[in-house]
Amino acid sequence: MEEIEILRKEIDEIDEQLVKLFEKRMELAKKIGDIKKEKGIQVLDSHREEYVIKKAKAQLNNKELSDVLEVFFRNLMNYSKKIQYDDFKKAED
């Protein structure tokens, strides 16, 4: 097997794990949204978002990836908020 095939296989395995983790994260975001809806809490929590990004960046070994990681997490949190906003809209209908 060529080196590129070996590396691609490893990426495929990581992608598989990412899909599972993404799905789990979205399920948890939905549950948090349900709690927010019950308690009348707004979906957007900018302090929490900044904390999550700061914490993620601190865990990076390769600090050159810091900006890319921030974009990744902002997108991830945007999808989480979308799930929560969609649930809020359904409750209003």
CB atoms < 10 A from the CB of 79, how many?
13
Give the domains, in start order, of the chain with CATH numbers: 3-92 (1.20.59.10)
Neighbouring C-alpha atoms within 13 Å toward the C-beta of 46: 0
Cα 87–chain centre separation: 17
- The pLDDT tens digits along the chain (93 residues) read 799 999 999 999 999 999 999 999 999 999 999 999 999 999 999 999 999 999 999 999 999 999 999 999 999 999 999 999 998 888 777
pLDDT of residue 12: 98
